[in-house]
Every structure is written in C-alpha cells, then in structure tokens.
Structure 1
C-alpha cells in the first residue's frame, strides 16, 4: 500500500481502527488495524473505491466557484462523529465529504466556493453537545472559523479575520474542541501559534446558545 503524504490520523479505539487522511493521488481515506497496522479498507471522493481512483489530472481540476472535481484535489483532513460518520475536508476544493465508516458517500458540503489557492476547508471539529449538532471548520485562506449545521452543512455563523492579534489568525490551519467547549486553533505561516478560545459563562451552554442565535 503506497502512502504518499499523510495529513491526519484519527483513532477509533472502540473498533481498534486507525483512519488516515493521505494526499497521494489527490487524497484518500484509508483505514488500518490499530494493532497490526494491516490495511483494511479505503476510499476516495464520493466513496470511490481505491482501485477506481483515476490518475487523470483532469479529474482533479477545479476553478473556484465552478463544478466540483471528480476526485479529491488535495490536503485532505478528517474526523469522525460519535454517530459513526466520517468527515473528510478536501481543502483545495473548498468542500467536505460525509461518508459512513465503510466509505459509503452521503453528503457534500461546500464552504466559500470562490476561495482560491489554499482553500477554505481545513481541520474538522465538532461542537461539545451530545448530538454534536455543529461542525467547526478552520479556513486557512480566509482565516475564518466556520460554524455549520452538521445535518445539512448550512453555515450558521463565522468568526475571526486575518491578522496577528489575539482572536485573529494568520494561516489558520487546524482546530480542536474539548469536552468543555474550549476551542484550540493552530496557525502556520506568519501565525505559528496556538490560541485557546474559552466560552463565556457555561463551557457548553453559552457557546451553543450563541450558535443557535445565528441560525
């Protein structure tokens, strides 16, 4: 199994599986046994079987604001929700693909589709409420944090702008959210820092209340 550029690894400890976001051939999701590292399964954009992923560059061509490419375009990151769905962010095509853990394609969410080089969909995180109602998406190019309804991908809000002051980002690359609702962000380029955002008042309730008002 050729691995040509690992961007992210997520562990499903209950299933003893390791999910790998690999940028070889534009991007693939691959699953390995967490103990033996034996390859188990994998897929590409729209749930394509690994054997069906094309090597034709035309299938990865993308003009911002235009039709989505047939294959992942590159810089793939991933995360999976508590209800067993995999979210693969194809940053260079400004989109997120939602699949089952077996690779069955379910949905495609598009964020800021006119975003150019660098793309708009970076790291994927979930809100801390039990149903994980919202997706939190880092945006490297626009330097925003996007809040999406996880059910339909609808954007319900955003925060942040480009800059080097606290609360701004310069190369907003990755994101994580802990069980208390604290948001951790990592920057590259001139940013090169980690910031923590703490919800006011209730660690969970206040953040979710603010998101609800944006809908």
Structure 2
C-alpha cells in the first residue's frame, strides 16, 4: 500500500497541458494506492472552481452530470438554505447571499453558463400549509418538493427526479428549462410492481433508446421505459429478480438515511435495501446499480430478454451510518470505476475488468479535497472527476487528473 499526498505545484505542468486550471488553485489531496501492481489515476483539487456569482451560495447538491461538451451541471436545493445563508433574499443582511436556482450549468473554467428551476417550469399548481413533516399540499404541482438526481442526455435535455413528500416523478426539460414530458405523477405511487407510477426516484439514465430509473426511496427497484413514448418496458430488483423488498412506510426524511432501523447493511441480501440510490450505464452494455444501504453495487448486462445479473461489488464492507455506495462513474477509456462513498468520505477507484480496488482519494472533512455527505460523482472527457455533497456539505468539487501513480 502506498499513500500519495502530492502538491498542486508538482501537478501544475501536467494539469495545464490538458485542461484549464490555475497552478495557484490546485491543492494537494489525500490518496492511497492500494494495489501498486496496477497504475492509479492521480488528482489535485481545484480550490478555485467553480466561480459562483458573488451573490449566490449553493445548497445541498444532490445531482451532477457532465454533458457531451464537457460542461458540468449541478442540481442544488435552494430550499435547504435558511435565513442565515440567504440574508440578502430576506433583507436581513446587507451583504451576501441569495439562494440559487435549482439547475446550474458551468463550463470547464467554472463560469456559470445558465441557471433555472422552480415551480413555474413544471405543470400544475399547489398550495402548501404547515411546515416540515406536518406540511400539507393541495393541488397538482409537478416540480419536486425535494429534487434528487440529475442526468443530461446527448440531446442536451435534462432529467430530474425527486425524493420529497409525494415526489413520485421524473421530469424532462430542454437545456434552457423548457418542460418536455414526465414519467409518473406527484402524489401517486402504488408499489414495486407498478408499470406506470414511481416511488421517490433517486436517479435517471437515458441512452437514446430507453430511460432507466433508480426508483429507490419509497420503492426498491430499477424500472425501464421506452425513449420515444415512455412506455413501460421492464422492471427488476436485486439479482434481476422481481423486487420483493417491500416499500418504505410513510414519507422519507433525511434522518432515515443514517438510521439502523433496517438492521444494518447486508451485502448478501436477496433484496435491494431501502435506498436504491443510482443507476448508470457502463461500458459493454453493463448497468451499475447503487444499493447504498447494503454497501454494494450490483452489476447487470442488458440482453434481448431483459437484464442478466453479473456481480455484487461490495464497497467498504462493515460501513454503517449513511453507508457507502452512493454513485458511480467511469474513466473516459472505461478502465476505471469511480465509486462515491458517502459515509467514509472518499472516492474509491476500481479496475473495471475485475472490480478490484486500486485505491481511493479523499476523506471526511470540510477542506478542499475532503467530503461531508459525498453524494454524486461524474467524469469529463479529460479524466477530471467532479463530486457533489448534501446535508451540511453543500458544494461541488473538481479534481483535476494529473497523471498516473505507478
């Protein structure tokens, strides 16, 4: 095992050769090379990225996507900010800050290109009375009460899910925030075998032929719809079998993400745990599913008859709390798998052919290159890695690929 701790100065020449990054903003990160028989990508965090407008501050950021042009999209929750964060909005502060829109697009330099979001962009209208878990909604508003999950497809259309009260919907918009269509309807859910209704979807992946949804905060399954008309195609649970893990009782709240009410992680469970957190298409017709509360990925392959289960990939066995497997991304050449580990505050680097651990970077903490409630991970065409954080983390980070550790 080799521990790597390299400085931004040492990386400057390599970083500048491939992507825009200032040597002054590159900061060393903590990384460990576990399997030294395999080269491992190395990174420095760009502490100057992104460059938010001076009047904005990020909320919890549960969604992340890199588009075909290497722009970076972030889904954030303005409703997660309070009056101390957004004093300018409330008039309580003569300085900063304002809440951001839900959807933000940045270029490689970290400049904000476009931003949008909110109830005016989706069909329907609702009135909410009360606060917190006692809030009552009346109406048919389709914008999620609590956004969760973001995907940007090759046509530059944006897909958004929600895991708040009644958020049983996936919405589809143009890059400028014009509503296109949706899967499911808010306030309507009917369990794991439903072919039309969702149950607090966590993640989305669209490949031009079909839409995959990790339907995973109330339900415990993956469901697939046709690309052209969103007709139902297929659904499955753990090991490609019918989803038989039941559904969550009542409305999900954040405290349940770290509870032990499920008895703890069970990487050998025949059912998905109570948060099916991501679905991602990988190389060679594979599909990766984050069974976060069971500390594992499940890997499938699409076939003419549906899906074939390939492998359990256990991530940090024995992890408790918020558990480990939160999101998955791939290096541009498909050699490496990056797994966001929420509880341990690190990004695991696996060799895709074997899913053996090559190493990891990051740790729990609030400084650049560290994580609090690490949520999402994605990779651009240069091999740079991006992450977002929720709860009190509330940020997006950019890790510049700087070479390979032999």
- TM-score computed with the length of structure 1 as normaliser: 0.84
Q: Distance in 2 between matches of 1:80 and 1:116?
A: 27
Counterpart position of 1:28: 221
- TM-score computed with the length of structure 2 as normaliser: 0.46
Out of 317, 330, 336, the position equivalent to 1:113 is 317
1:72 equivalent in alignment to 2:272: yes
Q: Distance in 2 between matches of 1:161 and 1:18?
A: 34
Counterpart position of 1:203: none
RCO higher in 1 or 2 (8 Å CA, sep ≥ 6)? 2
Provide the aligned C-alpha RMSD in A.
2.0
Change in CA separation of 1:185 and 1:32 when aligned onto 2, cut-off 3 Å: same
Q: Which has the larger radius of gyration?
A: 2
Q: Distance in 2 between matches of 1:10 and 1:89?
A: 13
- Contact preservation (8 Å) 1:135, 1:147: yes
- Contact preservation (8 Å) 1:26, 1:71: no
1:7 equivalent in alignment to 2:202: yes
Q: How many residues align?
A: 195
Q: Distance in 1 between matches of 2:296 and 2:242?
A: 19
Segments of structure 2 that go 5 or more residues without pairing to the other structure are 1-194, 249-260
- Contact preservation (8 Å) 2:200, 2:219: no
- The aligned runs of 1:55-134 (5 Å cut-off) are 55=246, 63-64=264-265, 68-76=268-276, 77-101=278-302, 102-129=306-333, 132-134=334-336
- Contact preservation (8 Å) 1:62, 1:69: no
Q: Runs ≥4 in structure 1, deviation > 3 angstroms?
A: 54-57, 60-64
Segments of structure 1 that go 5 or more residues without pairing to the other structure are 201-205
- Contact preservation (8 Å) 1:127, 1:133: yes
Out of 348, 364, 376, the position equivalent to 1:162 is 364
Q: Distance in 1 between matches of 2:366 and 2:311?
A: 35
Change in CA separation of 1:55 and 1:134 when aligned onto 2, cut-off 3 Å: same
- The Cα shift of 1:62 comes to 5.0
